[in-house]
């Protein structure tokens, strides 16, 4: 297999681009794809300060590295979610990357800073872990960006993520979500500007990028996400992609070109009536935002170890948590 550009030995074949690349030309390909996404969607203007949200996984570490390579002014931020060994390893990977490059990293720890972790929140609220996890991440990333005076927040969502989210939204006709699904969410009403510069790269490509660049990322996926719908949508798309390379790219980018605008009114309607949270000032459609309600509900609960939750006993909390939960809800 030869590199399409220099005819040297190739290390990767990219069927959707009908190309093979050697290490150097693959890195150039990744930088070019990110630069193209940034310019096509007007993601980041020269001189803007960027906060990159990092999980220690391949996508967000590749993103951080690529933004630095492209000359952007970037700081990292990472949230310790308290999901057992997985979160410890994820924070350690982010810290090791930042230290090895001398890059600034802001750290938040749910348990240390807010008195809860994701397994406990899932048990007390009796919702899937991804629900309290998403609420926590969104709020803390947004506030870190606004408090730190950043112009833009960048996240590591890649083509596989966006195509799987799109498939889920289409399968259930979540029209308001379809109207918000975009590589750029403009800053407004107390929300920071958010961008996804990896939308033109697949997760196989971000993993290969890290390997070629010598970036030590955490390989394990979140143990709480095992078997969830998002992963099933990814698998479905992967099997279609294997038979017809380029389908995932077409599905997502043709949606942006031809259909996304049609759902904007539904998205705008869902965001009507935003006002500042009475506790923290973040925009919300309720009196108190979802994050503050979550913290209020879970921050003094007995910690639930991740193993208990995974064993299926903790989803509704153990008996003492369940009772505590009831008391809190009734209050």
Positions that interact with ligand AMP (CB under 6 A): 53-55, 59-60, 77-79, 81, 137, 155-157, 161
| Smallest separation, CB 22 to Zn ion (Å) | 3
The Cα-based distances of 307 to 109, 123, 304, 320 in angstroms read 20, 12, 8, 17
Using an 8 Å Cβ cutoff, are 231 and 153 in contact? no
The Cα-based distances of 187 to 126, 140, 179 in angstroms read 32, 16, 16
- Indicate whether 62 belongs to the interface with Zn ion (CB under 5 A): no
216/266 with CB nearer ligand AMP: 216
| Smallest separation, CB 288 to Zn ion (Å) | 6
- Indicate whether 6 belongs to the interface with Zn ion (CB under 5 A): yes
The stretch near Zn ion (CB under 5 A) out of 24-32, 58-66, 155-163, 245-253 is 24-32
Using an 8 Å Cβ cutoff, are 48 and 151 in contact? yes
The 8-class DSSP code of residue 54 comes to -
20/169 with CB nearer ligand AMP: 169
Using an 8 Å Cβ cutoff, are 52 and 63 in contact? yes
Q: Tell me the CA end-to-end span of the chain in Å, nearest whole number.
A: 67
Q: Which of 46, 114, 103 is nearest to 75 (CA)?
A: 103
Among 175, 238, 279, 318, binds Zn ion (CB under 5 A): 279
SS3 label, residue 181: coil
SS3 label, residue 150: coil
Using an 8 Å Cβ cutoff, are 124 and 296 in contact? no
Give the binding site for ligand FES (CB under 6 A).
Answer: 81, 118, 129-130, 133, 222, 224-225
10/218 with CB nearer ligand AMP: 218
Using an 8 Å Cβ cutoff, are 280 and 291 in contact? yes
| Smallest separation, CB 127 to ligand AMP (Å) | 16
Q: Annotate 268-292 with DSSP letters as a single string.
A: HHHTTT-EE-TTT--EESSSS-HHH
Using an 8 Å Cβ cutoff, are 217 and 63 in contact? no
| Smallest separation, CB 264 to Zn ion (Å) | 26
Using an 8 Å Cβ cutoff, are 162 and 181 in contact? yes
| Smallest separation, CB 244 to ligand AMP (Å) | 25
Among 289, 294, 298, 304, binds Zn ion (CB under 5 A): 289
Residue 278: which residues within 8 A CB-CB, separation 6 or more? 287, 288
223/316 with CB nearer ligand AMP: 223
Residue 59 site contact among ligand FES, ligand AMP, Zn ion, none (CB < 5 to 8 Å, cut-off depends on kind): ligand AMP
Residue 289 site contact among ligand AMP, ligand FES, Zn ion, none (CB < 5 to 8 Å, cut-off depends on kind): Zn ion
Residue 60 site contact among ligand FES, Zn ion, ligand AMP, none (CB < 5 to 8 Å, cut-off depends on kind): ligand AMP
Residue 156 site contact among Zn ion, ligand FES, ligand AMP, none (CB < 5 to 8 Å, cut-off depends on kind): ligand AMP
Using an 8 Å Cβ cutoff, are 54 and 105 in contact? yes
| Smallest separation, CB 224 to ligand FES (Å) | 4
Residue 10 site contact among Zn ion, ligand AMP, ligand FES, none (CB < 5 to 8 Å, cut-off depends on kind): none
Residue 118 site contact among ligand AMP, Zn ion, ligand FES, none (CB < 5 to 8 Å, cut-off depends on kind): ligand FES
| Smallest separation, CB 24 to ligand FES (Å) | 34
The Cα-based distances of 200 to 19, 70, 203, 296 in angstroms read 15, 16, 10, 39
Q: Which residues of the shown chain bind Zn ion in the complex (CB under 5 A)?
A: 3, 5-6, 8, 22, 25, 277, 279-280, 282, 289, 292
């Amino acid at each position: 297999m030869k590199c399409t550009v220099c005819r040297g030995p190739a290390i990767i074949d990219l069927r959707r681009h009908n190309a093979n690349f050697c290490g150097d030309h693959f890195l150039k390909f990744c930088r070019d794809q990110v630069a193209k996404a940034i310019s096509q969607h007007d993601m980041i203007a020269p001189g803007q300060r960027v906060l990159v949200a990092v999980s220690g996984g391949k996508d967000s570490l590749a993103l951080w590295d690529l933004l630095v390579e492209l000359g952007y002014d970037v700081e990292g931020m990472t949230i310790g979610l308290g999901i057992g060994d997985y979160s410890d390893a994820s924070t350690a990977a982010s810290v090791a990357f930042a230290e090895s490059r001398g890059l600034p990293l802001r750290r938040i720890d749910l348990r240390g800073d807010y008195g809860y972790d994701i397994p406990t929140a899932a048990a007390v609220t009796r919702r899937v872990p991804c629900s309290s996890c998403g609420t926590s991440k969104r709020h803390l990333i947004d506030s870190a960006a606004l408090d730190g005076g950043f112009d833009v927040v960048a996240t590591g969502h890649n083509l596989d993520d966006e195509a799987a989210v799109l498939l889920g939204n289409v399968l259930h006709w979540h029209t308001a979500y379809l109207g918000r699904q975009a590589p750029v969410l403009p800053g407004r009403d107390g929300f920071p500007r958010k961008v996804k510069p990896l939308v033109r790269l697949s997760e196989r490509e971000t993993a290969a990028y890290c390997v070629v660049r010598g970036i030590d990322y955490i390989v394990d996926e979140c143990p709480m996400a095992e078997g969830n719908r998002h992963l099933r949508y990814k698998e479905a798309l992967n099997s279609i992609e294997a038979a017809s390379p380029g389908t995932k790219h077409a599905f997502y980018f043709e949606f942006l070109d031809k259909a996304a605008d049609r759902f904007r009114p539904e998205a705008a309607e869902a965001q009507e009536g935003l006002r500042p949270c009475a506790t923290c000032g973040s925009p919300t459609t309720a009196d108190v935002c979802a994050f503050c309600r979550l913290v209020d509900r879970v921050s003094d609960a007995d910690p639930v170890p991740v193993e208990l939750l995974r064993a299926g006993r903790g989803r509704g909390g153990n008996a003492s948590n369940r009772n505590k939960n009831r008391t809190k809800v009734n209050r």
